[in-house]
Structure formats: C-alpha cells, structure tokens
Amino acid sequence: MFELRFLGTADSGGIPSHNCECSICQEYRQKGQKNLATSAYIECENGEIILLDAGIEDSASIFDGKKIVAILLTHFHPDHAVGLLRLRYSSDKINCYHPKDKDGFADLFKHPKAIKFIENSPFQSIEINNLKFTPIPLKHSKNTTGYLIHSKNKTIAYLTDCAGIKEESMMFLLLQTIDECYIDACLSPNVQKGNHLNYQEASKILDKINARKSYLIHGSHVTLEYIRKNNLQLKYNYI
C-alpha cells in the first residue's frame, strides 16, 4: 500500500519565517525544526520516486541516488516549482505532468534539459507504476490542478493550492471513496486574504468530501499563531 510522505506542509515563507518573532516561529527555532513549502512524494515498490510538486529547492539532493520517475505539478508558482531548476540537470529523464500554462516558471520551457513537460488534461488519469493520478482543477491565481491518487487499495486527494473547489471538481470528488484528503488552508478568517482557503472554508469542503482521514496543509505561521493565541480547537488538524 502506497504512502504519501510530505517534505513540507507550510506556505511559501515556510516556518520559521525569516526574522519573525511570533511564538510559532520562536518555538520552531528553539526546537531546531523547520517546515518547508508544501510538497510530497511517493516511494514506489520498485524504489522509484514520484514527486507531488517540486517546491523544495534541494529536491535533487534529497533524492540523490534514487530515480525520480515523474513529477505531478499542481502549478508553476515558485514555491511549487523551484526545485525543477536543479532537477533538470538529472542524469535520468523525468516526466513532469502539469496543468496548461503558457509561461511555466523561469526558463524551464526554453531549457528543459532532462525534464519532459507534459500538459495534463482535467480528469484524465495518468498511470505511473500501478498508480493513477487524476488531475482535478482548482481555483487559484494560476491555472492549478490537485490530484486524486488511486491504487487498488487506497485513494488520496491532494488539493493545493486553492481558493476553492470548482463545481465539476467537487462533483467528481463526491463520487469517490477517499481514504485521505489533504487541502490548502493557508489563511485564517479576518486576518489574511488571498488566493487560498482559510481553515473555516477548508473544513467545510472536507466535511463535504467526507474522507476517512482529512488534514489541513499549506498553513502559514500567521494562521497557526492566530489559532494558538485564540486557543481555537479545529475539527481538522494541520500537519
């Protein structure tokens, strides 16, 4: 049974945020911890790696010695794509599946090197090593697709970045039996605004999807500090 493992679950600034003195950032420093921009991976039974996003700059070093067979990119914002700049120098060919985007990121389309960029189609499954990845259109400031990851005995929804779920995407998700759902909840109500969900909005969506296990991701230190200061108990946990 495959596992989705996270390299980071924070927003683009990460935690601790540079020179921030909030209690969240201070606690991370004191414990020698850090939480990087949201990205994840699956290690297949044959040892090959499939990345979900590539926002960790040293992804190439993290997986040195392992074959990265594919990257499922949600969108081309830097905090989800910057790792591609080094991964393109890999000795292995890497397929990168991504939503339609005429610009991409930096000069990647002009100089892809080892990376083969393959535009995905909404709801059209991509099969890699006995896993199916179905692109799910999301609402965001750039064209973005989350992914439904399906094997014969497990289904996971990876839904980031988003300010909402498109109607056709929600209809699709409601037809699935989902074991784990991870959703963008970067913001806190009445504190921040942007092209992301806040934890109240994300929680309502998770209620509808009704996965066996549900989690909030892409959290910012500002959001986590607000929750702590107000002693809030959320229905779903940030990871």
What pLDDT sits at residue 194?
A: 82
Domain that holds residue 172: 5-238
Residues of the chain predicted below pLDDT 70: 192
* Residue 227 near residue 197 (C-beta atoms within 8 A): no
- Give every CB contact of residue 50 below 8 A, 6+ residues apart in sequence: 41, 42, 44, 68, 69, 70, 71, 72, 128, 129, 131
User: Which pTM was predicted?
Assistant: 0.96
pLDDT of residue 72: 99
pLDDT score recorded for residue 204? 98
Q: What is the CATH number of the domain that holds 120?
A: 3.60.15.10
Among 8, 92, 11, 94, smallest CA distance to 84 is for 94
- Determine the pLDDT at residue 138: 98
pLDDT at 74: 99
- How many other CB atoms are found less than 10 A from the CB of residue 100? 10
pLDDT of residue 1: 84
Question: ∠ CA(209), CA(100), CA(177), 5° rounding?
Answer: 20
Closest CA to 219 of 25, 4, 75, 37: 37
Total structural domains within the chain: 1
Q: What is the dihedral of CA 132, 2, 10, 236, to 10 degrees?
A: 100
Place of tokens 């969108």: 75
